[in-house]
Each structure stands twice: as structure tokens, then as C-alpha cells.
Chains A and B, each alone.
Chain A
Amino acid sequence: MSAIRLILKSLLYYWKTNLAVLLGVVAGSTVIGGALIVGDSVRESLSQITLKRLGKVDFALSSPRFFREELAGEIAASPQFTNDYSSVAPGLSLSAALQFTSNETKETRRANQVGLWGLDQRLWSMIGPDDIPAPVGREIILSQQTAEALQVKSGDEISLFVELPATIPRGSILGERKETSQELTFNVSHILSGQSSADRFQLNPSQKLTLNAYVSLEELQVYLDLAAIRRSPKYPEGMPAKINSLFVAAKGTNSHQLESATTSNNILNQQVKDSLTLDDLQLKLRTIEDHSYVTLESHQMILDATTESAASKAANSLDCQASPVLVYLANELGNNSSPENYSMYSVIAGLDRATLNYPPFGPPPMRSGEWPVKMNDDQIVLNSWLADNLKIEVGDKINVKWHVVGSHGELPEVEHSFEVTGIVNLNGPIDDLGLTPKLPGITDVDTYDEWDQPFEMDLGRLTEADERYWEGGVDPDDPTQMTKAYRATPKAFVSLNTAQKLWHSRYGNLTSYRFAPGDSAGELTKFEGQVADAFLEAYDPVSAGISFRPVQALGLQASQGTTDFSALFIAFSFFLIISAMLLIGLLFRLGIEQRLSEIGLLHSIGWSDKMVKRHIVVESLVVILIGAVLGAYASINYAEAMMTALTTRWVGAIGTSELSIALKPGSLMIGAAISIVVASGAVLWSLRQFKSQSYRSMLNGIFREETQHKIVTRTRSYAWGAGGTAVALLILTTLGIIPDAEAFAGLSVKVVMFFIVGMLGLACSLLTMSVWISRDKELAIQGVGIAALANLAVRNASRNRSRSVLTTGLISSATFVIVAVAAGQKNPTAEGPELDSGNGGFQLVAESSQPILPNLNSVSGRDEALEFINQPEMKESPEIVAILEKTNIFAFRRQPGEDASCLNPYQTTLPTVLGATKKMRERGGFTFSGVSDDHPWTLLDQELPPDEDGLAVYPVFGDLNTLQYSLHKGIGDRIPVPNAENPKAWLQIVGAFTGSIFQGVLVASEEDFLDLFPEREGYEWFLIGGPSENVQELTRADAMLLSNYLETGLNQFGFDSNRVADRLDAFLKVQNTYLKTFQTLGGLGLLLGTIGLGTVMLRNVIERGGELSLLRAVGFRNGAVTQLVLLENVFLLSWGLISGSAAALFSMSPHLLSVGANVPWLSLIYLLLGVFCAGMISALAAVIQAVTTPVLTTLRSDS
């Protein structure tokens, strides 16, 4: 005989108990392993979707600028490219609004924010299906989602509204603001099947099929004036074809690994830098031969910060003279003391006086006064022509009027008065038209009448002198002489600092940068080449946004997911696991109790405590190991069931049905290992309870609990403590003595207090039960019939008090959590607009495919933006007019980024950023977490100190869910912009919205937004509601009418509005799906708990076999014995279910009393009834045992 043999014999002999424990382990292992497999499967499925989404595209460059299409060929021609990459494709990546009007029904259907891709065979071969050729001519290929949205078929003609590329930024004085959109018509040639990469192609990670449309690159270039123009007399410089995106496919799969992909990406970026020309950067160098210098100008009429920095570095490296210039167009220059002396439409130059000391930039030929090195902001120097015409002398004042560009494209005029410090002769370096950048349509036209400017001019106020300055003409002082046509030559000069203060633009601070060769520089043409080379060498395309990103590797990294679904499902299965473990502990304990005398015997024959413990542990470990292995196998089936649910009933959790099982041996082993550890813990926990048992009582097979009276006294004091604390907290909270501030994570103190009171109530209930069943003052047998049986049943429950309380506690706590979770569900569609709520008091949220400049709150703005070509009656509708009068539209600027809402399961790094206007910040609204300020929105106005590297830090708000689950950030954390590899600035979280419409985005102030993203024009995100003082004034019906009105009128912008409540509901669907999952798995745990209860009942009946037989011997019928057993079960089960439910409902009462509460009462009641029935069924084994055991045998063996 050996210990191992004894273990094996015991395992077999006590097979029923061991099987029960084994099944518990199998359940635990199945759930844990299944959760890990679900996590692996979700991650793997998201990776597969990423590979499908991007097709063969490994690297992508998507720039806000348009650059030469030839760049693609130049990159492909490099030797390194041939080695590591397989192909490169040019493309146009735009956002469009699509519209289709059915010939049959005349119904118009729209699809907004559609990804419009201009491509040729090169890109199509990377993402398109093989059996469909790339679009040519006016063909358009639609993704399945787009086709479904428009309900079109092949052959239908559809309209596209797409933003026209603006050479000059729309937010600058010379930018085009009227014609911003172009309508194009295409014929649907193919509709994709939903299976190809083209169906989901986009650069940001997403699991969803996307709204995409594909057209010929060449055709789109023609439509958008981006096609190549040959040099001709009309276009002497010609223009190469332009694109804004490049896509590269790599050889092999190294590009899937982030480290190697980053290296490859850097190589591509270097190739881009090597191939870039000034034209790619919309820059040009102009030789000003009259003055022997070269000037760097931009087609955008402004040099951005990156260009300015590179120009400065180039000047340093060439060691040449340089002079930065900022010119601005003044509407009017007038003599302050005699307003009748004025000049219209003049250019003023801001110059750095220190750069004007030597030819060719200086020295300035002063006629009178001086040009101080340090001019203050109120000082100005005039050229002699202006001084003479305005009759101004040194010391006089001059009024200058100019336009500024408002945020909605309006052009208010501002005026400033300067003191004239000097008058400079209009000759030499001052007679320099090169100071003003060349602007076709303005600087190259002969008369003011020919100006092609995007704003209205008051030509009636032009003086003859003005016209003569521009055009030249007969000199009035000497009619025999002709005057020079100075055109846009600056008439006045301020310091560069003053100019940048007055005419600062978010796009940049200079209009040109002049370079003059030193004496040894040789000819000017050669110098121009040197400047170009030095400039391009110094230019950093990455900081200008012209850089590749390893999209495939980043996408695969993002597929690791925002949410660890393994952890999530383990959390969801919490009660299932706990129930399994408690069941293991309970069954194990019952098994040990059954063998107590055996253990006592082993002690008596000299087995030490350690030996006995080791013997028991090893025996149970064998059971656990077998259970874990079986559980690992069963976990595959469990995971399959979970994945099926995730693609059907719980599809809202991940948002895709394209999930498949991914089995990783590691996860199966980890799952088994965890369950072994946890089950062993349960066994050891149970064993601890036998530590205090004497050998003698064990030998006699008696498990002795602590002395009853001690327990009752102690438990009663605990019950009073829990109950008293609950009542005290309730009173303090209700009376407002505990202030109702935010506790944590957006939860108010009141909500938290109610939850604590509920939990204390539950504890009090269980403790009371423990005391009550142990009471001995009352007679157990009272009444007659079923009442007497019920009393006896309750007394029976006290026979093994800890077992009874443990099982009731398990059932009640599981019930508490399940009911509380169910009661926490919300339905925002039932909520009305409230300023301080998740909807912020708004009825509608809208987005546009293209930026909208006009102010939609003003009649003039709406007149400008809204078009009602097909429904003119809509514009004049009195109903709409009345609604508009009480409507507030808050427009936000938008920098598109990743969708960081809970609707996107991918890990995100930089979500969409919104710029909130001052008006919006002043209005306020929404609820915040982690913010103590009474006016949280003012936090966006604060100026944060730069980081240690001098990078700017901007305050932003985010939604709490977005921050916690998608970005994994908290208040005070920073997010790099545009990415962590090359941060240009930081966004610092200063506040978190709770349950808001801002889920998935970050919100900055408009001013900070424009600093961060100066190239973003207009407004693309809108919140629409009633007046701030009475947000309910705009009703739901009003909002629906308004939505239709705006969507129709702003069709060309791809305006798409939704009810805020619906959007919130979509966000909450994910949360509610999680709750539903938790409820279901928690319910399973609860069912397992009832099996535990059934086991306890069975054990009780076995232990009380003699008593029950005695009852039958003295005349109790089987029915009465059955009732006795079932009543005890009903008592414990009901106590658990009722106390758990009541405590949970009380805990959640603040939420239940709110408008948006949406408790699934029916499913909850079904669940609890199901648990009750399962509990009763599980007690049947005990009943059968009680009524089938032979009376005589039991009585004899008990005697």
C-alpha cells in the first residue's frame, strides 16, 4: 500500500463527489479558457479585417496639399524601391456627398461623407477585385454600402458634390469662398460585392464596411483642375497633373511588423524628400532681375511655418542676404486730418529694417524723416508718391483700413491710425514690385477693373491717382511725361513685427522671402538654383504633413483592440467563475465532511497534518487537472458559442459579424492554468475550515462549527452595524448633509451613496437571516399544516448555518449584480434636451462632407449656403422660418481622425479633433467628470506651458468612455499630434464629458484648433438646439423638420444630421450589449449557484436521513417530507433572490427615477423566475433522497 495507491483508490471510490468537483472545475476552466479564446479570436479577426481593409497597401501618404503625380514614378524609379517594394500608386483621396434621384420614383437619396478615391489601375490592383476593371472616363464604382445607401444599380447616373481644391486658403483675404463645391456626374459601372478590400478601404482602422466611391484619377483631375496643363502662350509655365495621395505595396510581409515597417517607411519618406520640388510644395522662386535678388513665394500667397523655417536655414547655409516680407492689401489709406485725401487698394509691406541696410534690399532712399530700426506698432513709412498724393508730412497721421477674414468668411473692415515717421523716395530698393507676390488675376492685370478678386471692391472710390499708380499714365505735373505703372508696388511700410501682429494669419506669417546673392554668387539664374537646392535640403516634408505612414503595420497594431475582450469576457463571466469556484469549494467541503472520520483515522494512525493535507490536496489536484484539461477542450465550444452570440445577438459589442475562432495553444494552456490555480485556491480555502477541527470530532465524523451563541451574538452586532450605517448614510444623503458632488468617473456622490446603502442593506439582510434562523427563543414547531412545516424548514436551515448563509449569499450577491446591471440600462431617446446632460440641450448633431463657411445662424449666411433648387417652396415655409427663429446652430471645426468611440473596437491614437467656438464655450452645457470648475468650458481657454522640448500644449476635452476605453488616457494625460513619432504639439486632457455626444472625438477651443490645424477650413460638425435659456423650446418635431430642411438646403456640402438622442442611443447600444452579455453570463452563474444550493440541500437531507426517516416513521407522508425539504429550499432561494433584487433596485433608485432609465423588466423577471425554477429543480435530488431512503435501514443505522 502506498500513498499514491490510496489516492487512486479514493478517487475511484468517491467518484460521485469527485465527478461533481470535476464538473465544477470543467465549468470554471471552460469559462476562463473560452474568454481567452474569445479575446484571441477578436484580435485575430480584427487583424484579418485590417489586412482586408488595406489590401496590398502597406504604406500610404495622404496630404492636405496637392503635389505632382510624377512623384510616384520618381519614387518607383529609385534603386532601393525596386529592392524592397513592389509598386507605388498615385491617387486622389477626397470626401464627397453622393446623390441619386430615381427616374421611376423621383425620390432623391443621399450618401454623405463618402470616401471618394481617384485612382488608376495601379491603386485598383492593390485594393480592387480582379474581375472588375479600374474605372475609366465617367465610370464610378461604388462599394456595397454606398450602393445600398443610394439604392442604385449599375448604369444609374449619380451626382457627386466635392470640395474644389483651393490654391489660396479660403480663410485668407484672397481665398475663394463663394465657389467651394463642384457637382460632378458619373455613371455607376459596378457595385462591389462587400467582399473586396475596396469595400472597406480607408486609412484609419475600422471594422466596418465603408461608404466608398472610385472614379478615374484622370477624370477627377480634370474636374478639379488638377490635370496636367501643357505649356502654352496662355499658360507659359504649364502645370503637371496633381494628386494628394500615394500608396505603396511592399514585397513580403515584413511591413506587417511595426519595427521593420517603420524602417521601410523612413526610407520612403527620404525618397519623397529627395524627389520633392518647389512645385510639390506649391512654392516658386522668382528672379527679380531689376533688383538682383530671388524671392520665394507660394501659390497660396502665404509661407507657412515649415517653409519659413526652411527658408531661414537656406539663407544661413548660403550665407547670403535675406529679407522676409509680409504684404497686405489695404482698402484705404487716408490722411487723418483731411479724409478727402485718400488712396484705395494699396499694398503695405512689413519689412525688417535690419535687412534693408545693403543693396539690393536697401538702403532706403529717405526723403524726409527716418525709418527707425525699431519701429513701434503705430509708426509707418510712406513712399513719396503716397505722401504727395495724401498731402502728408513726417509726423502726420494716416488712417489705414483693411479687411479681416471672419470665421464664417465674412470680411469686416478694421481701421488703424499710424504716425508717419519717414517718407522714402519711390525709387531704388523701394520701387520694387517684387515685394508683392505674383498673383494671377491681380498683380498681372493692367487696370483695377480687371482685378479678379474674391471680394467686392468699391471701384467708385478709386481716384485717378490710384489708377495712374497702377496703370501708369500722363503725368499731371508734366503732361509730356508718362508716369510709371507701379501696380502692386507697396506704398507704405511698417515693421515686420507690426505687420505680423496686424495681419497675422493661421496659415503663416510671411508672403515672401527674398534672397540676394553675395558678390561671389555669380549669375542670378545659377543663384536661384542654389537657393532652391538649399531650401529643399532644409525643408522637412514630414512636419508639413507630406509623409508616408506604415498603415498596414499600424492597423495591425491597432487590431490589438481598445478593449481586451479576454479580460472583458472573464469579467462578464465573473459570477459564472465565482459560482463554479464556490461550487467546487462547497462540493469539496461536503466531500471532506463525508470523509471526516477517514481523515481522523489517518491522524490517529500517525499521519501528520501535512501528510493528511498533502494527501487531500494531491487527490483533489488530480481531479482539478483532469477537469482543467476537459475544460480546455470544452472552452473551444464555449468560445464558439460566445463568438456566435457576438456575431448575432451581441453584434453591437464589436460591430462586425466577420469574426472567426482563432485557437492558440498558449491561451488554452493559460486558461487551464488559471482554472487550476483558482480551483486549487477554492480547495485550500475549504480545507482551512477543517483546521480548527479536533481529531476526535473528525474521527466521530462531526464537523463542529463555532459555539452557536458566540456566532449569533457576533452576527447580530454585524447586522446592526450594517443596517445602522445604511440608514445613517441614507439620511445624510437625503438631507443633503453629504454634498452631491462628483464622486469618481462621472458618478455623483448621491448615486455612489445609494449603491453603498444598497450593498449594506444586502449584507444586513444576510446577517439578519443568519441570526434569525439561529434563534432559539421561539418554538420551532408552531401552527399546523404547511405553516408548521415552514417553521420547521427554517429551523432546519440553521442546522448547518454557514452552508445556508453561504449559498444564500452566493445567490443574493449574484442577483444583486445582475439586477443592478440590468437596472443601469439607459435609453437616451426617452430623454429630452437638458443643458447639463449628455445631450447638452441639443436636438440634432450634424456633419458635412465639405466645410461650410457661412454662418448658418444668420439669414445672410443661410442665404449664401443653402440651395433649394428642386424644392424652392421649402425655403419660404413659414413653419421653417418660425423654427429657425428659435434655433441655435453651433458649428465646430473638424480635423478628421480615427473614430475613437465605442463603435470602433480598434485601438486609436489620435481621434477626430473638434474646435469649439467661443460662443459654444460661453454657452456651456454637458456634464463633466474630474472637473471642479463651475464653468468647465473655460478650461479650454487656459494657456498651458510648453513641454520640455518647447512643443506647444493645448487643452482639450474628451468623453470619459473614449478616454478610458479607447485612448486609455485620463485627465492630465497628453496625446501627441500628429503622431508619437514626430509630435508637433500635445493635446492635454483637462476635462472629461460623461455620457456625451462627444464620444469618439476630442474638443479644443477654436483658436487652439486653428493653431494646430491651420489648413482646416470652415465648419464640418454641428450641434443644433433651442435657445440656451430654454433648450426645450425646440421640440423633437421641430428638429425633424429642421433636419430635413438643412439636409436638403446643404445638399452640396453633404450635410447629414441625426437626432442627438439617436446618436447617443447608438453609443449606448454597445454599452447595453455589454450589459446584456453580462446579464446572460451572470444568469448562468446564478443557475450554477442554484445547483450549489441543490447540492447543499442534498447533503443536508443525507445528513438528516435519520430525522427524516423518523418523521416518516411517526406518520409524515412523503408529500409532507417533500414539502419540508422544498420549503427549506424555497426559503433560502427566495431570501437570496428577493434580498439581492431589492438591494439592487434600491441602489439603482436614483437612476431608475431618471427619465432615461430603460430597465428590461420582462427579461429580468424571466431570468429571476428561471433561476427560481432551476433552484427548485436542483432540490429535487434532495427530495428524492428524502422520500426514497428506506425508513427502517436508516433508523437502524442511526441507532
Chain B
Amino acid sequence: MSNLSVQNLTKTFSTATGHLEILNGVGLEMSKGDSVSVTGPSGCGKSTLLYILGLLDSPTSGSYELLGENVSELSKDRQADIRNKEIGFIFQEHHLLPQCTVLENVLIPTIPASLDPQDKKERAENLLNKVGLHERLNHRPGQLSGGERQRVAVCRSLINAPALLLADEPTGSLDPSTADGVGNLLLELASEQETMLLCVTHSVELADRFSRRLDLQNGTLVDVSNS
């Protein structure tokens, strides 16, 4: 049984010259522990798909079920609740809050959740320990390297143990060596937590390391895992 099911998903934008169809009948199934990469040329709609799956955007038509619930039709508050509890995001830009320390940045998603503060802190420290940042807990983002910042962002995305982890070009702004490290870390942690991982990337090297590789062509997903 799929934990994530997308059927006939479309997304159309209005422009000055008319309508622009970005996604055209996208279908996707994912189960616990799946890791999927999505590739495609710039502007093909990869990120749009990601944001729709992350409930930060809404489809024009089609259905999207997450953990058995049709999430695309829920209220904004309920969507926010699902984003907080079941979805983790990693972006190309780390989007760390410059006013907060490393530990605090990881803990920010826990603010809406009513968890025990001590538990939250321990979990954050564990995650940061795993990514090798246990000595940088009280550092500010400005004091970290690009790779370190992205590792903090990974920890932040996993702090609430989400069922779905979405990554939008997570290594796009990193040098190859650091990118490789971050890619590995992402796959390891997702596997360890049995989280569904969907990653949008331009990097074929990174994409090939996922259990499935999908290519977004003419608005639809094409499985290119075995090609």
C-alpha cells in the first residue's frame, strides 16, 4: 500500500500570453523507505511538483494522498499541521535563521508541536551529532560553511521525524565534495528513519543513488531508473 499517491496531477499558470501548463497528468506512488529522485531541465516543473507535494502550492487538478489522506483539499491550517508533522523540507538555500544558533534552527519546527522541551533538545542534539555538528551547537549560521549549513538544514527537516522528506536541489550550491557528503547524509538519515525521500536535482550522480529516478518530461514523470 502506498503512503504517497499522486494521480493525474496538473498545474497551469496564467501569463500575459495565455495559459502555461507545467504539470500534465503526473502520477507518483511512494511507500515507506522509498527514495526517489526527480530530474529534468530547468523550468520543467520539478520544483513546482515538489512544492505541491510539500503542500506549499496547490495543483490545478488531480489528487494527492499522503498517508491515506487527500491532503490537497484540506484547509490551510490542517495542511500546515501536516507539513509540520509529516513533511520535511530541504532547499537549495539552507534558509537558516541568522538570528538563531545551530541548535535553535534545528528546533524551530518543534515550536508548533507540543513536545517535551527536553525531548526535543535531545533529539536535535542527536541529529546534529550524527551530522558531525555536535561541537557547533551554539554557533550562528554565519559561522558555518556552506556544507555545514546544509547539514543543519537536513537536521531541521528531520527533527519532527517526518514521513516524507522533500529536497529541492539540496546540493546545488555546494562544491562536489561537500555535495557528495550531504547527498550521502540525506540518504542515510532517510533510510535510517524510514522516511520517504523525494529529491529534485540536476545532479545525475546524486539522482542515480536513489532507489528510483524519475525524469519530468513534458509535464509528466517518466521512470528512467533502469535506463
Q: Once the chains bind, are A695 and B57 in contact (CB under 8 Å)? A: yes
A9 and B111 contact, Cβ closer than 8 Å, known pairs A604-B89, A606-B81? no
| Complex: chain B residue closest to A602, CB-CB | B108
Which of A12, A600, A607, A695 meets B112, CB within 8 Å? Answer: A607
Q: Which of A1, A14, A610, A611 has the most CB of B within 10 A?
A: A1
Docked pose: A9 CA to B54 CA in angstroms: 28
Which of B16, B54, B111 meets A604, CB within 8 Å? Answer: B54
Which of B16, B51, B89, B99 meets A14, CB within 8 Å? Answer: B99
Which of A9, A607, A699 meets B100, CB within 8 Å? Answer: A9
Quote the shortest CB–CB distance from B175 to chain A (angstroms). Answer: 14
Contact partners of B77 in chain A: CB under 8 A: 608-610
Task: Bits for B3-27, please: 1 = Cβ < 8 Å to A, else 0.
Answer: 0000000000000100000000000
Quote the shortest CB–CB distance from A687 to chain B (angstroms). Answer: 16
Q: Once the chains bind, are B112 and A6 in contact (CB under 8 Å)? A: no
| Complex: chain B residue closest to A608, CB-CB | B80
Q: Please report which residues of chain A, range 565-617, place their CB below 8 angstroms from some CB of chain B when the two chains form the complex.
A: 597-598, 600-611
Dominant secondary structure of chain B at its interface with chain A? helix
Task: Bits for B194-215, please: 1 = Cβ < 8 Å to A, else 0.
Answer: 0000000000000000000000
Q: Once the chains bind, are A611 and B56 in contact (CB under 8 Å)? A: no
A608 and B76 contact, Cβ closer than 8 Å, known pairs A603-B56, A699-B56, A699-B95? yes
Q: Once the chains bind, are A598 and B95 in contact (CB under 8 Å)? A: yes
Q: CB of A694 within 8 A of chain B?
A: yes
Q: CB of A744 within 8 A of chain B?
A: no
Q: CB of A230 within 8 A of chain B?
A: no
Q: Once the chains bind, are A1 and B104 in contact (CB under 8 Å)? A: yes
Which of B56, B82, B93 meets A597, CB within 8 Å? Answer: B93
| Complex: chain A residue closest to B57, CB-CB | A696
Q: CB of B84 within 8 A of chain A?
A: yes
A9 and B99 contact, Cβ closer than 8 Å, known pairs A604-B83, A699-B56, A699-B91? yes
Q: Once the chains bind, are B57 and A13 in contact (CB under 8 Å)? A: no
Docked pose: A3 CA to B109 CA in angstroms: 10
Q: Once the chains bind, are B108 and A603 in contact (CB under 8 Å)? A: no
Q: CB of B144 within 8 A of chain A?
A: no
Q: CB of B133 within 8 A of chain A?
A: no
Docked pose: A413 CA to B172 CA in angstroms: 117
Q: CB of A709 within 8 A of chain B?
A: yes
Q: Once the chains bind, are A605 and B98 in contact (CB under 8 Å)? A: no
Task: Bits for B31-57, please: 1 = Cβ < 8 Å to A, else 0.
Answer: 000000000000000010001001011
Which of B51, B56, B82, B99 meets A10, CB within 8 Å? Answer: B99
Q: Once the chains bind, are A601 and B99 in contact (CB under 8 Å)? A: no
Docked pose: A611 CA to B97 CA in angstroms: 17
Q: CB of B85 within 8 A of chain A?
A: yes
Q: CB of A357 within 8 A of chain B?
A: no
Q: CB of A870 within 8 A of chain B?
A: no
Q: Once the chains bind, are A606 and B85 in contact (CB under 8 Å)? A: yes
| Complex: chain B residue closest to A595, CB-CB | B97
A13 and B91 contact, Cβ closer than 8 Å, known pairs A1-B107, A607-B84, A608-B81? no
Q: CB of B110 within 8 A of chain A?
A: yes
Q: CB of B156 within 8 A of chain A?
A: yes
Q: Please report which residues of chain B, range 80-135, place their CB below 8 angstroms from some CB of chain A when the two chains form the complex.
A: 80-85, 87, 89, 91, 93, 95, 97-100, 103-104, 107-112, 117, 120
Q: Once the chains bind, are B112 and A611 in contact (CB under 8 Å)? A: yes
Docked pose: A10 CA to B107 CA in angstroms: 15
A605 and B100 contact, Cβ closer than 8 Å, known pairs A1-B107, A597-B95, A707-B16? no
| Complex: chain A residue closest to B99, CB-CB | A13
Docked pose: A4 CA to B200 CA in angstroms: 35
Q: CB of A692 within 8 A of chain B?
A: no
Q: Once the chains bind, are B110 and A1 in contact (CB under 8 Å)? A: yes
Contact partners of B104 in chain A: CB under 8 A: 1, 5-6, 9
| Complex: chain B residue closest to A701, CB-CB | B93
Q: Once the chains bind, are A695 and B51 in contact (CB under 8 Å)? A: yes
Contact partners of A5 in chain B: CB under 8 A: 104
Quote the shortest CB–CB distance from A823 to chain B (angstroms). Answer: 45
Contact partners of B80 in chain A: CB under 8 A: 603, 606-609, 611
Quote the shortest CB–CB distance from A937 to chain B (angstroms). Answer: 68
Q: Once the chains bind, are B93 and A606 in contact (CB under 8 Å)? A: no
Docked pose: A601 CA to B106 CA in angstroms: 12
Docked pose: A27 CA to B80 CA in angstroms: 38
| Complex: chain A residue closest to B90, CB-CB | A604
Q: CB of A2 within 8 A of chain B?
A: yes
Q: Once the chains bind, are B57 and A1 in contact (CB under 8 Å)? A: no
Contact partners of A602 in chain B: CB under 8 A: 108
Quote the shortest CB–CB distance from B17 to chain A (angstroms). Answer: 10
| Complex: chain B residue closest to A8, CB-CB | B99
| Complex: chain B residue closest to A11, CB-CB | B99
Docked pose: A9 CA to B81 CA in angstroms: 24
Docked pose: A605 CA to B83 CA in angstroms: 6
Q: Once the chains bind, are B99 and A12 in contact (CB under 8 Å)? A: yes
Contact partners of A2 in chain B: CB under 8 A: 111, 117
Quote the shortest CB–CB distance from B28 to chain A (angstroms). Answer: 19
Task: Bits for A878-903, please: 1 = Cβ < 8 Å to B, else 0.
Answer: 00000000000000000000000000
Contact partners of B117 in chain A: CB under 8 A: 2
Q: Which of B80, B85, B109 has the most CB of A within 10 A?
A: B80
A600 and B95 contact, Cβ closer than 8 Å, known pairs A9-B100, A606-B85, A607-B84? yes
Contact partners of B109 in chain A: CB under 8 A: 605-606
Q: Once the chains bind, are B111 and A3 in contact (CB under 8 Å)? A: yes
Quote the shortest CB–CB distance from A1010 to chain B (angstroms). Answer: 79
Quote the shortest CB–CB distance from A1082 to chain B (angstroms). Answer: 39
Q: Please report which residues of chain A, range 413-464, place their CB below 8 angstroms from some CB of chain B when the two chains form the complex.
A: none
Which of A6, A600, A694, A707 meets B111, CB within 8 Å? Answer: A6
A696 and B51 contact, Cβ closer than 8 Å, known pairs A601-B95, A606-B84? yes
Contact partners of B87 in chain A: CB under 8 A: 606
A605 and B108 contact, Cβ closer than 8 Å, known pairs A1-B100, A6-B100, A695-B51? yes
Contact partners of A10 in chain B: CB under 8 A: 97, 99
Contact partners of B108 in chain A: CB under 8 A: 1, 6, 602, 605
Quote the shortest CB–CB distance from B86 to chain A (angstroms). Answer: 9
Contact partners of B57 in chain A: CB under 8 A: 694-696
A695 and B95 contact, Cβ closer than 8 Å, known pairs A605-B108, A611-B112? no
A605 and B91 contact, Cβ closer than 8 Å, known pairs A1-B100, A13-B98, A13-B99? no
Q: Once the chains bind, are B99 and A695 in contact (CB under 8 Å)? A: no
Quote the shortest CB–CB distance from B170 to chain A (angstroms). Answer: 14
Quote the shortest CB–CB distance from B142 to chain A (angstroms). Answer: 11
Contact partners of B112 in chain A: CB under 8 A: 606-608, 611
Q: Once the chains bind, are A606 and B83 in contact (CB under 8 Å)? A: yes
Contact partners of A9 in chain B: CB under 8 A: 97, 99-100, 104
Docked pose: A601 CA to B95 CA in angstroms: 7
Which of B98, B111, B156 meets A607, CB within 8 Å? Answer: B111
| Complex: chain A residue closest to B109, CB-CB | A605
Contact partners of A605 in chain B: CB under 8 A: 83-84, 89, 108-109, 156-157
Task: Bits for A952-966, please: 1 = Cβ < 8 Å to B, else 0.
Answer: 000000000000000
Task: Bits for A687-711, please: 1 = Cβ < 8 Å to B, else 0.
Answer: 0000000111001000000010100
Q: Once the chains bind, are A604 and B56 in contact (CB under 8 Å)? A: yes
Quote the shortest CB–CB distance from A3 to chain B (angstroms). Answer: 5
| Complex: chain A residue closest to B166, CB-CB | A604
Docked pose: A13 CA to B96 CA in angstroms: 13
Docked pose: A707 CA to B77 CA in angstroms: 28
Quote the shortest CB–CB distance from A24 to chain B (angstroms). Answer: 22
Quote the shortest CB–CB distance from B94 to chain A (angstroms). Answer: 9
Contact partners of B54 in chain A: CB under 8 A: 604
| Given A6-B111, A603-B80, A695-B56, 4 extra CB contacts under 8 A | A1-B107, A9-B97, A601-B95, A696-B51
Cβ contacts A to B, 22 pairs, < 8 Å: A1-B100, A6-B100, A10-B99, A12-B99, A13-B99, A600-B95, A602-B108, A603-B80, A604-B56, A604-B89, A605-B108, A605-B109, A605-B157, A607-B84, A608-B76, A608-B77, A608-B80, A609-B76, A609-B77, A611-B80, A699-B56, A699-B91
Q: Report, nearest first, the 4 A-B pairs whose CB atoms are least far apart.
A: A606-B84, A13-B99, A1-B107, A608-B80
